[in-house]
Chains A and B, each alone.
Chain A
Amino acid sequence: MLLRKIEQEKVFMNTIIRITLFSDKPTIYTQEKIQDAFGCFDQVVKKYTRFSPKSELSVLNNSGGKPMKVSAELFMLIEYMLELANQTNGSYDPTIIDLLETYGYDQKSNFESLGDPNLFNKIQKLIKIRPHFSTIKLDKNNLTIELAKRQRLDLGSVGKGYAIDLAYDLLEEFPSFMINAGGDIRVKGPKPDGGVWEIGLQRTQPPNKRVIGEELIGKIQITKGSLCGSGGWARKVKFFHHLLNPKTGMPINSISQTFTYAKTAMEADAWATILFTLGIKGLKLLEEQSISGLVVGNDGSISYTGDIFSKV
C-alpha cells in the first residue's frame, strides 16, 4: 500500500510542534486528524497554564488551605508528579514556583531581581518557611486536592510530554509518525520502507566553558517510544536557569544536560528533569524504572544507562 508522507508544524507552548506522518487514509481525513493532534497542545495549555487565572490549575493554586475538587485528568497528573517527588526524596519537587518567581521567572519575566543584592538571602529565607510537598492531601475517591496555604503546583515538567501523548493517542490509527515538540519527541512504528527514525541529540553550551558552536552529541535510532531532553544552561539568564535544587533553592550546575528514553513522552519528559536534578547517581533510579538515560557532564563526558544510548 502506498503511504503518503504529510508534515505540518504549528507553534504552541512557545515551541514549534512538528508532526511527520505516513498516512494510508484520505488526505483530508489525515489533515483533520493532524489538526486535532495540534489541538491537544492548545487544550493542555488552556487547562493547565499557571499564567491564566481561569485555568483549572490556577484555581487549584488559589485554593490553598481548603480541599478542592478537580478533574480526573488533573488529579492523575498531580498524583504522578507527587509520586515522582516521593521516589526522589524531594530532589524533584513540582511546588517550587515560589522559588522560581523569586528569581523573576514569572509572567513578566524581566529578571530584574537577578540584580538584587539580597536575592540569595531571600531564597534562603523562603526555603526555610515554604511548605513541603508532602503536605499536599490527595483524596482519590472524591478527586479532591488540598494544598497548604501559599503552596502552588506547576506542570512544567510533565505538561509538554502529556500533550505529546494525547496527540499520539489521537494519531495512533496511522502506521508511522513522529511528533516533535521543540526537541521532545515520540514516534510510532518504523518508516514505510522499514527504516528507523534517526534522532540527533543536540549539544548545548556547557556552563563556564569555552564558546563552541552547537553540534550533535550523537544519534539514536528508534521505532517506538519517546526521547526528551533537559538542560538548564540551554536557555539561561545570567546565573539563573529554571532547574533548581528544591532543597537549596539554587540552580543546579553539576551537569550540562540529560536525555531520557521511555515508553511515553510524559515519563521521558519528567525523568529528563529528574535526571538533571539527580545527576549521574540518578541513572540507577532510571534503571529501576526501566527507563534509559544519558547524562552529559560539564566537561562533555557521557554516562548512560540503557542499550538505546550505547551507540551514541
Chain B
Amino acid sequence: MNLFLSKVYAQVDGVASPTIPFTPPGSITPTTAGPTTAVVGPSISLTSEETTLEVGMTSKIQVVIDTQLQPISQYSIQLLFSPEYLRIVDFDDSTDSIEIDFRDTFFDETINEVSQQQGIITLSAENPAGSSSITNRVIAEIEVEALKAGFAEVSIGRESTNLLTPGSEDILQTINTVEFVIGGDGQTEPTTVVPTTSNNPNVTILPSSEIPLPSRTPDTAITDNLRAPAALILGVFLISMGSYFIKLRNTDAIKKN
C-alpha cells in the first residue's frame, strides 16, 4: 500500500466506498473501505472517452506510457482487440497496410502493424542513437469502429509488451484494458412485454420462450411432404382407370348392339 495513501486514510474516521451487494455470489475476498489496488511503477495505459458505442460509431483510444521517472531506450506494445466487433481505422491511407497514429516524437517507430483478421496491433519504437529518456505522454492513438452489437475490449498482450531500459531490463508493471458495450444500429430501448393473465384457471399462458416449438415445420408446399404428390399421382391414376373402364364398357355396349 502506498504510504501516502495510508496517511490520508488514517486521517479520517471511516471511508465510504462503492460496495458490492450484501450477498455477492462466489467467494469474494472480504472488502473494507480503503485503498485496495494502489498502483505503483511504470505503466502502459489505454484510455477512451467512450464506454458505450453504437454500430458504425468510431472511438479513439490513446496509448499512454508513464515510466515513473525511469529512462527507457525502447518499447514494444502488443494490443489485442475483438476483430468481430471492432475495426481499426487506417491512419495512413497511402500505404497498403493498416497503421495506427504513432505520436511519440522522442522515439523512432520501428514496427506499426495491424492485423484486422487476427485482432492484433503491434507497435515498437526505439530511442534514436541508442539514448534513453523518461516518458509520460500519449505515444499513439487508435481509432476503432464498432462493427457489431455486443461486448468488445482492447487489451495489452503482456508477454509481447515491454518497456526496456538501456540495460534491456523490462520495467513495465501496470497495464489496463478498455471495454466497450456496443448497442445495435439505431437501437432503441426495447419495450418490456407485460405478460397477460387468463381468467380461465385451466389455461396457462406461457411466456413465448416456453411455448413448445412444433416438432416439424408445417407443410407449405407439395415438396414438403412426399405423401401429397403420391396422393395426387394416385388420384390421377384412379381417374384414368375410371375413364378407361367407362370407355371399355361403352365399347362393349356398342359391340353388343
Main SS of chain B's interface residues? loop
Chain A: CB-nearest residue to B29: A14
B103-111, B190-198, B216-224, B247-255: which lies at the interface: B190-198
Please state if A129 and B207 are interface contacts (CB–CB under 8 Å): yes
Are A200 and B22 interface neighbours, CB within 8 A?
Answer: no
Bound state CA distance, A44 and B195, in angstroms? 32
Which listed residue (A107, A163, A202) contacts B25, Cβ 8 A? A107
Q: Which of A18-62 contact B (CB under 8 A)?
A: 18, 20, 44-45, 48-51
Which among A14, A108, A149 has the greatest number of chain B C-beta atoms within 10 A?
A14
Expressed in whole angstroms, the Cα–Cα distance for A117 and B152 within the complex equals 10
A181 to B30, CA, bound (A): 11
Chain A min CB distance to B93 (Å): 27
Interface string of A69-113 (1 = CB under 8 A from B): 000000000000000000000100000000000000111111000
A231 and B194 within 8 A (CB): no
Q: Are A219 and B5 within 8 A (Cβ)? A: no
| A67 CB, min distance to chain B CBs, angstroms | 13
Stretch at the interface among B6-14, B69-77, B235-243: B6-14
Most buried by B among A49, A213, A257: A213
Contact of B192 among A49, A132, A149 (CB under 8 A): A132
- Chain B CB within 8 A of A279 CB: no
| A residues less than 8 Å from B153 (CB atoms) | 238-239
Inter-subunit contact B8/A247 (CB<8 Å) = no
Residues of B within 8 A of A267 (CB): none
Cβ A213 vs Cβ B30 within 8 A: no
Q: A198-B12, A251-B181, A257-B18 are in contact. Are A182 and B33 (CB under 8 A)?
A: yes
Q: Are B21 and A127 in contact (CB under 8 A)?
A: no
B189 contacts A109, C-beta separation under 8 Å: no
Contacts of B23 in A (CB 8 A): 13-14, 45, 48-51, 155-156, 159
A201: shortest Cβ distance to chain B, in Å? 6
Flag whether A6 is at the interface (Cβ < 8 A).
no
Q: How far is the CA of A129 from the CA of B195 in the complex (A)?
A: 8
Known contacts A16-B32, A216-B8: A108-B25 contact under CB 8 Å: yes
Chain B residues with CB below 8 A from A185, complex form: 14, 16
- Complex contacts, B26 vs chain A, CB 8 Å: 107-110
When the two chains form their complex, are residues A214 and B5 in contact, meaning their CB atoms are under 8 A apart? yes
Partner of A14, one of B13, B24, B207: B24
Q: Which of A119, A198, A201, A210 contacts B47 (CB 8 A)?
A: A210
Given contacts A14-B28, A15-B31, A248-B190, contact A202 B16 (CB under 8 A): yes
Taking the closest CB of chain A, its distance from the CB of B48, in whole angstroms, is 4
Whole-angstrom distance from the CB of B162 to the nearest CB of chain A?
17
Interface status of B39 (Cβ within 8 A of chain A): yes
From A18, A106, A239, B180 is in contact (CB under 8 Å) with: A239
Q: CB distance B151 to A114 under 8 Å?
A: yes
Alpha-carbon separation in the docked complex, A35 to B6 (Å):
29
- Using a CB–CB distance below 8 Å, which chain A residues touch chain B? 11, 13-16, 18, 20, 44-45, 48-51, 90, 105-110, 114, 117, 119-120, 124-125, 127-132, 134-135, 148-150, 154-157, 159-160, 163, 178, 180-185, 197-202, 204-205, 207-216, 219, 227-232, 234-235, 238-239, 242, 247-248, 250-251, 253-254, 257-259, 298-299
| CB-defined A-B contacts under 8 Å, sample of 12 | A117-B150, A148-B195, A178-B14, A183-B31, A209-B45, A210-B64, A213-B40, A215-B8, A228-B16, A238-B153, A248-B190, A253-B51
